[in-house]
Amino acid sequence: MTATDLSTSTTSERTAAHIATTERYAAHNYHPLPVVLAEGHGAWVVDVDGKRYLDCLAGYSALNFGHSNERLVAVAREQLGRLTLTSRAFFNDKLSGFAEALARLTGKDMILPMNSGAEAVETAIKVSRKWGYEVKGVPAGQASIVTMEGNFHGRTTTIVSFSDDDVATSGYAPFTTGFRSAAYGDIDSIAAAIDETTVAVLFEPIQGEGGVVMPPEGFLRDLRALCTERNVLMVADEIQSGLARSGRTFACDHEDVVPDIYIMGKALGGGIYPVSAIAADREVMDVITPGSHGSTFGGNPLAAAIGTEVVAMLEEGTFQARSAEIGVQLEAGFGPLVGKGLTAVRVRGAWAGIDIDPTLMTGRQMSEALMARGILAKDTHGSTVRFAPPLVASDEDVAGLVEAVTEIITGA
């Protein structure tokens, strides 16, 4: 089978109508595949025409525990009928348990809850800067943060200020200052970018948007040592890589490294509700004082109830173990395709990036061909496709993904 361009003209009238209405009234900030989803259970979703698809994107890791997870849905339903929002002008009876549970999971003293991942990144930036002024003693207005080439942390004005993605930055200047770029995975490049004004190094243990790009072995340990030596906060964006996606609770765990600040989101809300947070020890988090940062919905009872159950599920360890098992299957399936249509394969837990020979097809064409076979995935950066199935995917599900990619690549 060869990849084809699946336009809306090949879809049903029902699907075409949904797409046309969405394109008419919703801004075009995404370029979706021409499928309109209506239901989801476990690792599978169903479109408006009743066709089933294996979801191999999982909401960019937001759906680690699968669609309509029974435990999370039950918690959400119960809380929906009791109390959903108070604002942080008052205490609520769910935030206390969530804060304690997430602090325990991360091994940190305190958490600061927000909603979206981008908000959590912005929160980490603010905390790092204030820590730099109040604790490290950086002169007022001079704090700098070292970021990585190829990063993806969100799309707010400040975050795109340190992006090197032309699509994310074009037309949005002037940008926020105070950031310096270093080569991802290159400890010498990072060391050269640090000076007396540097308050933090912000990085992804695995760059998901880049196509599941991993730094060299030992990089995280070296970065931990460098940040400690230079009195700089090590800030790990685990929004996509964390909460069991990589086969461990956090991707930093693969090198037994503990950052100064964890940034979490996506799977923290179980794919049901937007929940994000940062976690840090008291000497870092105490720079936040009443009125200096906040969010109307951050830490709301519904979010806290769902997040507490997510932590309980992670503390059982079964999702981390399953993720590691899926990774072994993906590595065994995709690895032999290198040199036979794929130029590279990167796997860490239930997360894989494949680079397709660009003379064969683009990543978009691969995604379209997979969709025709009942598998949903997402391309990135030309001829790269990343796969992140829910951690409830079965061996048979994963085998079907590998078989489909193999047949598309080889033309079988």
Q: 88-103 pLDDT, tens per residue?
A: 999 999 999 999 999 9
User: Contacts from 8-16 at CB under 8 Å and sequence distance 24+?
Assistant: 8/34, 10/34, 12/48, 12/49, 14/48, 14/49, 15/47, 15/48, 15/49
- Whole-number Å distance between alpha carbons of 320 and 330: 15
Q: Is the pLDDT of residue 154 over 50?
A: yes
* pLDDT band for position 183 (cuts 50, 70, 90): very high
Read off φ and ψ for residue 10, nearest 5 degrees: -95, 0
DSSP string, 218-258: THHHHHHHHHHHHT-EEEEE-TTTTTTTTSSSSGGGGGT--
Is the pLDDT at 24 greater than 90? The verdict is yes
Split at pLDDT 50, 70, 90, the class of 2 is very low
Looking at residue 301, what is its pLDDT?
98
Q: Report the percent of the chain where pLDDT is more than 90.
A: 96
User: Which DSSP state fits 207?
Assistant: B
Predicted pLDDT at 11: 82
Question: What's the CATH class of domain 8-68+319-410?
Answer: alpha beta
237 carries an active-site annotation: yes
Is residue 53 within 8 A of residue 35, CB to CB? The reply is yes
pLDDT at 4: 34
| pLDDT per residue as tens digits for the range 43-65 | 999 999 999 999 999 999 999 99
What is the pTM (predicted TM-score) of this model? 0.96
Nearest to 41 by CA among 374, 271, 265: 271
Instruction: Return the axis-axis angle of helices 301-315 and 70-80, rounded to nearest 10°.
Output: 160
Per annotation, catalytic residue among 65, 152, 203, 334: 152
The C-alpha angle with vertex 120 and arms to 182 and 237, in degrees rounded to 5, equals: 40
Residue 384 has pLDDT above 80, yes or no: yes
Contact 75, 306 (CB under 8 A): yes
**Is residue 7 pLDDT above 60, yes or no?**
no
User: For the packed helices 395-410 and 318-334, what is the interaxial angle rounded to 10 degrees?
Assistant: 20
Cβ(24)–Cβ(18) below 8 Å: no
Note the helical H segments in 89-233. Answer: 95-106, 117-131, 157-160, 166-169, 187-193, 219-230
Statement: residue 335 has pLDDT above 80: yes
Classified as helix, coil or strand, 268 is: helix
Fold of 70-315: Aspartate Aminotransferase; domain 2 (3.40.640)
**346-382 pLDDT tens trace:** 999 999 999 999 999 999 999 999 999 999 999 998 9
- Please give the structure tokens belonging to residue 17: 């109508």
Please give the helix or strand (H or E) that residue 80 lies within, else none. Answer: helix 70-80
CB count in 10 Å sphere of residue 5 = 9
- Confidence band (pLDDT; 50, 70, 90) for 10? low
In whole angstroms, what is the distance from residue 95 CA to residue 219 CA? 35
Res 74 pLDDT > 60:
yes
If we measure between CA atoms, which residue out of 192, 197, 189 comes closest to residue 215? 189
Domain ranges of the chain: 8-68+319-410, 70-315
Q: Do 8-68+319-410 and 70-315 come out as alike in CATH topology?
A: no
> Can you tell me the mean pLDDT for 127-137?
98
Residues 206 and 232 sit within 8 Å (Cβ to Cβ): no
| Catalytic-role residue among 94, 108, 266, 378 | 266
Q: Which of 237, 355, 379, 397 is catalytic?
A: 237
Q: What DSSP designation does 9 have?
A: G
N- to C-terminal Cα separation, the chain: 6
| 179 assigned to active site | no
Task: Determine the pLDDT at residue 9.
Answer: 43
In 4-139, the DSSP E strands lie at 37-41, 44-47, 52-55, 110-114
Helix (H) or strand (E) holding 300: none
Q: Name 70's Cβ contacts closer than 8 Å, sequence gap at least 6.
A: none
Position 16 pLDDT exceeds 60: yes
The 8-class DSSP code of residue 330 comes to H
| 126 belongs to the catalytic site | no
Q: What would the pLDDT profile of 287-304 be if each residue is shown by its tens digit?
A: 999 999 999 999 999 999
Q: Using pLDDT thresholds of 50, 70 and 90, give the confidence band for residue 1.
A: very low
Q: Which of 222, 242, 223 is nearest to 232 (CA)?
A: 223
